[in-house]
Amino acid sequence: MQKLRLRHVKRGTARFASHRDFGRALERALRRAGIPMAYSSGFSPHPRVSYAGAAPTGAASEAEYVELGLSERCDPEKVREALNRVLPPGFDVVTIVEAGGRPLHELLEASWWTIELPGVDPAVLAQLAGILRDAEQVEVTRMTKKGERRFDVRAGLIKVWASEDGLELVVRHSEPLVRPDDVVAALRLLAPDVLSEIDAPLATRRAQGPLIGDEVGDPLA
């Protein structure tokens, strides 16, 4: 009857929740809020909830997206308010709109990330941004479900700059997807002396959506 797209955040300790943890929390919240969900067919029906572009565990985010299938029409704003009353702290729903146009997963072409590097001087942050921009190729290794995989981090970076908050990155959603921890691993290779004592960089996704030039657009616009 109705499809809604929502944007929610992962803030504070919620960033340590996995994608599966959030999925369970959302389904409980939908039941507690009394949202009239549509269900899949078959022997084990599930509420029609579609996830796209979930941030990795440990990363904060201001731009996580979910699509809900409802069995009857509802006021999107009332759905948002009802969910925020029952969702765990840190998982606030910011925006809900009716779905339309391109599929949600096709709209999420790139992400804007901030990587905070505690204790690193702003001048050094600018230096690190320049090192990343100038690198033609930086290969790192990541363990995946299919085993160890080696890939070029630089190929996924569209834009790199420094700000008061840390390193800013616009990253293309390519295969394999370049994650913030991959960028940190690349920097450890490129500037080992600078990052040798940085144990816990904090990554925050600022935006996620269609790629417009070298900027990230709003998929709900």
pLDDT digits (tens, 9 = 90+) for 111-153: 999 999 888 889 999 999 999 999 999 999 988 777 888 999 9
Task: For the chain, give the mean pLDDT.
Answer: 93
**pLDDT value at 199 more than 70:** no
Q: What is the pTM of this model?
A: 0.93
**pLDDT value at 77 more than 90:** yes
Helices then strands, each counted (H, E), the chain: 6, 12
Distance of CA 38 to the CA centre of its chain: 26
Q: Are 51 and 61 in contact (CB under 8 A)?
A: no
Residue 213, Cβ density class (10 Å: 0-12 exposed, 13-18 middle, ≥19 buried): exposed
pLDDT at 6: 97
pLDDT at 101: 85
88: nearest Cα among 10, 179, 5, 191: 10
- CA 23 – CA 25 distance, rounded (Å): 5
